[in-house]
Chain A
Amino acid sequence: MITARHSIETFFIILVGTALALFITVQRNNTTNRSLYSSAAVPQASTPLPIEAPAGPVVSVMDSPEGSKTLTVEALHNEYTVFTSVKAEGNKQAVFQKDEPVGQVLAIPYNTWSPNAVFFFLKEESSGATDYLVFRADGTSFSNGAPNLSIQQFFKDKVSSYVIEDVTGWADNTLLIVNVKSIEGDSRVSFWFDMTSQTFTRLSTYFK
């Protein structure tokens, strides 16, 4: 004879079993919490940039990704000197020199070097604007005779309706990744700037 009590007990057993199964499933799939079980503390991240600060000029350096070359920017009283060196040879190649206005800074991004160490780019910041300047590592000029290419200038000349937010790095040996947003600010897209053709290509992928 099945009584109401028996029915309730049966229903309760099924309910508990289902809840237990769901709990186990959720816990085993929840990988985001796994680090909480680690014995060591999870470190806070920060963007590393090797900068040496001797008594004289402020010196910033960045090795090429494969380690064969070094980019050095020396800043002394707003006078910036940029040079590269091949580690195996130890010689310095002067690439660029500029007196920046007060408040304007020339910085080396972490991803400054092209993967094959043929090109590098610098970030020129002032209170009102940011530009990205691309250089040849051997110090030679580009086809237009200029010592560097201004990504901002090229972008303004060739692409409308968008403004540059960041140049993040190199997609390959000749393609710079340029993140932009619409002038209205409601959409973000990425472009490639091709060093060989000096053109922009809009991408379907946004490099966050």
Chain B
Amino acid sequence: MYFSLLRHSMSIVVILLLAGFLTPFFSSQKVGCGNSISCKQKPQFEIETNAIGTYNNKPIHVPNVSLRENENTNPVLGASTSQGEKHIYVNLATQTLSAYEGEKLFIQTLISSGLWGKTPKGDFTIWSKFRATRMSGGSGADYYDLPNVPYVMFFSNSEVPGSSGFSLHGTYWHNNFGHAMSHGCVNMKTTDVAKLYEWADGPIDGKKGTIITIYGNQPE
């Protein structure tokens, strides 16, 4: 009788332990979709010429992407002069981004994180970089469909898969950095993100891309 009760009790404990492990797993799947295109298919390099996009459900002129401009940029920093691990910090409370190589600050600037969608927090790595791609999402008054989104760095971790479409990227449709303004991605001024894009690494030779730590709470 006692052993039977003990067995049942142990079963209950095992169930509770499993629930403890599985609850966060399932809760992590509740992270929204940062870009509905990459949530349906693998993102790809994509540019359009003289395109018209949609932002806040209104048409917007889309700047053309000149690939020649990259020919004038400096070589990727760190390729031959590495000074330590590269690490990007995004502080949601202050709406700032700071990128370090070892102890050396590479760039610090204002960003815009999620207003209409939540920006995920945690430690991530860059899993893919694109000079430009198309992004789409939202609904109703905040629907957006934006070709030529520049300097996109998709990030992910074990809880926020790459297919959720969250990224750091340039922004040609608003200039309100320092304030939450996105659907979950980290928006940056294009001139700032261009430098970061050249500096940060995607996965290379089995090594994960540059680490991104997103932390802090947005002002209520």
Residues of chain A whose beta carbon lies under 8 Å from any beta carbon of chain B: 1-2, 6, 10, 13-14, 16-18, 20-25, 28-29, 31-32, 34-35, 37-40, 42-43, 45-48, 63, 65-67, 110-111, 113-116, 168-173, 177, 205, 207-208
Nearest B residue to A111 via CB reads B175
Give the Cβ gap from B93 to chain A, nearest Cβ, in Å: 8
Cα A208 to Cα B21 in complex, Å, equals 36
Residues of chain B whose beta carbon lies under 8 Å from any beta carbon of chain A: 1-2, 5-6, 9-10, 12-14, 16-17, 19-21, 23-24, 27, 55-56, 58, 60-61, 63, 85, 87, 89, 91, 94, 96, 98, 100, 103, 105, 108-110, 115, 120-123, 171-181, 189-191, 194, 211, 213, 215-220
Interface centre among B12, B56, B179, by most chain A C-beta atoms within 10 angstroms, is B179
Question: Are A43 and B100 interface neighbours, CB within 8 A?
Answer: yes
Question: Are A66 and B190 interface neighbours, CB within 8 A?
Answer: yes
Question: Are B2 and A63 interface neighbours, CB within 8 A?
Answer: no
Question: Are B98 and A45 interface neighbours, CB within 8 A?
Answer: yes
Cα A75 to Cα B108 in complex, Å, equals 26
Partner of B87 from the list A40, A115, A207 (CB cut-off 8 Å) is A40
Cα A16 to Cα B128 in complex, Å, equals 43
Question: Are A32 and B1 interface neighbours, CB within 8 A?
Answer: no
Cα A60 to Cα B130 in complex, Å, equals 33
Given A14-B13, A21-B19, CB of A40 within 8 Å of CB of B85: yes
Nearest A residue to B103 via CB reads A40
Cα A170 to Cα B60 in complex, Å, equals 14
Nearest B residue to A3 via CB reads B2
Question: Are B115 and A205 interface neighbours, CB within 8 A?
Answer: yes
Give the Cβ gap from A197 to chain B, nearest Cβ, in Å: 14
Closest 6 A/B residue pairs (Cβ): A21-B20, A17-B13, A169-B176, A45-B96, A28-B24, A45-B94
Question: Are B190 and A111 interface neighbours, CB within 8 A?
Answer: no
Question: Are B20 and A24 interface neighbours, CB within 8 A?
Answer: yes
For residue B179, which residues in chain A have a CB less than 8 angstroms away from its CB?
168-169, 177, 207-208
10 new A-B contacts, CB < 8 A, other than A6-B2, A6-B5, A14-B12, are: A13-B9, A14-B13, A21-B17, A25-B20, A37-B123, A47-B96, A114-B175, A207-B181, A208-B218, A208-B219
Cα A170 to Cα B2 in complex, Å, equals 71
Question: Are A40 and B100 interface neighbours, CB within 8 A?
Answer: yes
Nearest B residue to A7 via CB reads B5
Question: Are A208 and B13 interface neighbours, CB within 8 A?
Answer: no
Nearest A residue to B98 via CB reads A43
Question: Are A172 and B173 interface neighbours, CB within 8 A?
Answer: yes
Partner of B121 from the list A34, A37, A173 (CB cut-off 8 Å) is A34
Given A1-B1, A13-B9, A32-B217, CB of A172 within 8 Å of CB of B110: no
Give the Cβ gap from B189 to chain A, nearest Cβ, in Å: 5
Given A40-B100, A47-B110, A66-B190, CB of A172 within 8 Å of CB of B20: no
Give the Cβ gap from A118 to chain B, nearest Cβ, in Å: 11
Question: Are B16 and A18 interface neighbours, CB within 8 A?
Answer: yes
Question: Are A20 and B17 interface neighbours, CB within 8 A?
Answer: yes
Cα A37 to Cα B96 in complex, Å, equals 20
For residue A67, which residues in chain B have a CB less than 8 angstroms away from its CB?
190-191, 194
